[in-house]
Amino acid sequence: MRLFKNMLLTLLVMVIIGCIGFTFWLRDRYVVPILSYHHVGIPTGTKWRLNTVSAASFEYQMNFMNRHGFEVIGFDDLVDGIKKGHQFARNSVVVQFDDGYEDNYLYAFPILKKYGFPAIIFLVSDKIGTPGYLTWDEIKEMEKYNILFGAHTRHHVYLPMMSLPEAQDEIAGSKKIIEDHLGHPIDYFCYPSGGFTVDIKHMVQAAGFKAAVTTNRGKDHFNVDLYELKRVHMNNTDYEYSGLILWFKLSGYYNNFRHFKKGGGAHPRVMYE
């Protein structure tokens, strides 16, 4: 019996030491989660996809953050804080959308206004005003309510598969088109499908963008490199298991456990696939 008690005590001590060690390991690995969405609502004829949520699910997720005291910060605040080496509060969150679908205005925007949350939407410049996408008037209205806009190329092309002149036109061209319509600088860029190379990254910098977001590509897991900012894909089922999935994605430690893509790729110039 005494031997059994000693074994239990030893096991308990090992568990405690392990937990303490794990806590110290996590301590310096916090990353402000950039929550990434595409569609909000069910587009006609479109199947559920990654980053697509129903209006009800988006409401649940925003309400969840509001009820549990998460601080939704603007993308400007995130970039400025990273530049300055700021220690963000461990409840910080950024909300972000790709492509600029009109359902962002119809369904997500009213919910963001309800909770007073800022967000950033990356626009495919040449699709603005076409069926299913935001109009310039809708974009200008959203800007009045702390919704920021960035560029996501002209035609939503996979940049590593383009020639360098074509990629240059997609990157710098999208910036100019949006700036000409809105009358102010566009500072942030989103790589379509997260794909980039060293050359493309340099083009984004040279075009005057202050930061760029990818998916789970690149070498920087902790969002120190402003031109390789990782995002957290949000799904329609993140509310399941009593919100445990959502808690995990909001924790700021998701990047420590997810799979990062490195090496290989469909094209020899793709360095971060």
Q: What is the CATH number of the domain that holds 115?
A: 3.20.20.370
Confidence at residue 47, expressed as pLDDT on a 0 to 100 scale: 56
Residues 83 and 12 in one domain: no
Residues 231 and 164 in one domain: yes
Residues 3 and 120 in one domain: no
96 lies in some domain: yes
At 85 the three-state DSSP class reads: coil
CB 124 within 8 A of CB 152: yes
* Rounded Cα gap, residues 144 and 263, in angstroms: 42
81 lies in some domain: yes
| Phi, psi for 103 (deg, rounded to 5) | -65, -20
Residues 70 and 200 in one domain: yes
Domain that holds residue 198: 32-256
Which is nearest to 149 in space by CA: 196, 105, 115, 86?
Answer: 105
Residue 129 token pair: 């005003």
Residues 177 and 77 in one domain: yes
Which is nearest to 131 in space by CA: 110, 100, 174, 108?
Answer: 100
Residues 232 and 105 in one domain: yes
* Rounded Cα gap, residues 197 and 218, in angstroms: 9
Residues 79 and 95 in one domain: yes
Confidence at residue 23, expressed as pLDDT on a 0 to 100 scale: 44
Residues 145 and 225 in one domain: yes
CB 51 within 8 A of CB 98: yes
Other C-beta atoms closer than 10 Å to the C-beta of 176 total 16
pLDDT tens for 220-273 read: 567 889 999 999 999 888 877 667 889 999 998 877 666 544 433 334 344 333
For residue 96, the surrounding DSSP H or E stretch is strand 92-99
Confidence at residue 25, expressed as pLDDT on a 0 to 100 scale: 40
- Helix pair angle (164-182, 136-143), 10° resolution: 70
CB 54 within 8 A of CB 41: yes
40 lies in some domain: yes
59 lies in some domain: yes
Query: Which residues in the chain land under pLDDT 50?
Result: 13, 15, 17-26, 260-273
Residue 254 token pair: 């998701």
Residues 228 and 136 in one domain: yes
All residues at 6 or more sequence positions from 104 whose CB lies less than 8 Å from its CB, including other chains: 37, 40, 97, 121, 134
Residues 26 and 145 in one domain: no
For residue 233, the surrounding DSSP H or E stretch is strand 232-233
CB 174 within 8 A of CB 123: yes
263 lies in some domain: no
262 lies in some domain: no
Residues 93 and 51 in one domain: yes
The whole-angstrom distance between residue 50's C-alpha and the CA centroid of its chain comes to 13
269 lies in some domain: no
For residue 98, the surrounding DSSP H or E stretch is strand 92-99
Reduced to 3 DSSP states, what percent helix, strand and coil does the chain have, rounded to the nearest 5?
A: 45, 15, 40
Confidence at residue 200, expressed as pLDDT on a 0 to 100 scale: 97
182 lies in some domain: yes
Residues 14 and 75 in one domain: no
User: Could you tell me the sign of the dihedral formed by the alpha carbons of 213, 34, 186, 157, in that order?
Assistant: positive
Number of structural domains, the chain? Answer: 2
Contacts within 8 Å (CB) and 24+ apart, 234-242: 234/35, 234/36, 234/37, 234/51, 234/53, 234/61, 235/50, 235/51, 235/52, 235/53, 236/48, 236/52, 236/53, 236/54, 236/57, 237/57, 238/53, 238/57, 238/61, 239/57, 239/60, 239/61, 239/64
Other C-beta atoms closer than 10 Å to the C-beta of 232 total 24
